[in-house]
Amino acid sequence: MSKAKIASLIAAITVGVFALAAAPAAHATSLTCTNTQSATTAPYGCGGLQIAPGYKDGVLDLSAQNVYNTQVTTAADSAMNSSEDFTVFALNGLTTGGPGDLGEYVAMVTPLGKISNFTIVTPVSSPPAGCVDGATGTNYTNAIPCAGVVFTAGPSTYCLSVSQYKGFNNKTRWWVVLRDCDTSGTFTYGTSTKTGGVTSGHANHWQLWGPTLGPANTGLGMVNVDLWNKNNVDYDLNISGMLGAGTPLQAYPNTSWSPNEEWDVIGCTPPVSTLVTAGQIPGSYDLC
């Protein structure tokens, strides 16, 4: 091989190495409950939230221990960490409306896709394996309902909510916490093609979150539907102080888009797949 060809080959390899080094780390595409896009068995609607690419502290996911009133935090992304698993239910089953016309959602803590406690209201016929579907009034713990089952959430079943109090930095803020999923209405478990829903009489507004499209290529804002300040500014899901893993989250006024309030969704089944297929959110915001 001539010296010229050797030099050319070295140059090409060098460029390739530097290109790989400069490329951002890939985000995870699954959690313990995410399932697949072609899933025909539960869990459905389960996944999580991940801070959008480029965040200074790396790849962080929404995380919560399944305990009443615990503060919701970030955690290093892990496909094996079940504290990062949430199942979402759209208000009235709709993926439209809300602050971003992308629907409004209740996020239930569901480690491994399992609901801590629920009671069947309306069963379905011919349920598949891997889920539960008893008679009306049957109560289950740490189980996954079958597709289309209507149920009420029971004790120790918690949803993403907010509460105003002094947090870890002794400042009064709207901190993101886990609270009982309001049981004055019903949930409907999703399917491979249909988003799970929560009735309007059930949805506690403190627990309703509406995604909005951020500036180009910066992910989604997650607006708490019931919070706004005197200037009618939305309160978004926000990593306090732009810190790293383990930082408590808060709902904070969005006066300008910031990297600590821009999110991607981890999910392969409705509603995420529905929003992407309909072109409501860019496919780049869907980690599946």
Q: What is the pTM of this model?
A: 0.87
Q: Are strands 86-91 and 197-198 parallel, antiparallel or unpaired?
A: parallel
Q: Which residues pair with 151 in a beta bridge?
A: 120, 187
Residue 92: the pLDDT is 95
Tokens of 278: 């309909």
Query: How far is Cα 3 from Cα 1, in angstroms, rounded to an integer?
Result: 7
Question: What's the length of the chain?
Answer: 288
In order, the DSSP letters of 124-189 are: -SS--TTSB--STT-EEEEE-BPTT-EEEE-TT-EEEEEEEEE-TTS-EEEEEEEEEPP-SS-EE-
Query: How far is Cα 269 from Cα 288, in angstroms, rounded to an integer?
Result: 9
Residue 250: the pLDDT is 96
Any idea which architecture 28-287 has in CATH?
Answer: Trefoil (2.80)
Residue 28: the pLDDT is 54
Kindly give the residue spans of alpha helices, DSSP state H, lying in 124-227: none
In order, the DSSP letters of 248-285 are: BEEEEE-SS--GGG-EEEE-SSTTHHHHHHTTSS-GGG
Query: Which residues does 68 contact at the CB level (< 8 Å), separation at least 6?
Result: 156, 158, 178, 179, 180
Sequential pLDDT tens for the chain (288 residues): 444 443 443 333 333 333 333 333 345 567 899 988 888 889 999 999 999 998 999 999 999 999 999 999 999 999 889 999 999 999 999 999 999 999 999 999 999 999 999 999 999 987 777 899 999 999 999 999 999 999 999 989 999 999 998 877 787 889 999 999 976 789 999 999 999 999 987 778 899 999 999 887 689 999 999 998 767 889 999 999 999 999 999 999 988 889 999 999 999 999 999 999 999 999 989 988
Going by the DSSP 8-state scheme, the letter that residue 62 receives in this structure is E
Tokens of 281: 């959110």
Residue 223: the pLDDT is 96
Domain positions in the chain are: 28-287
Query: How far is Cα 215 from Cα 224, in angstroms, rounded to an integer?
Result: 19
For 41, list phi and psi in degrees, rounded to 5: -130, 155
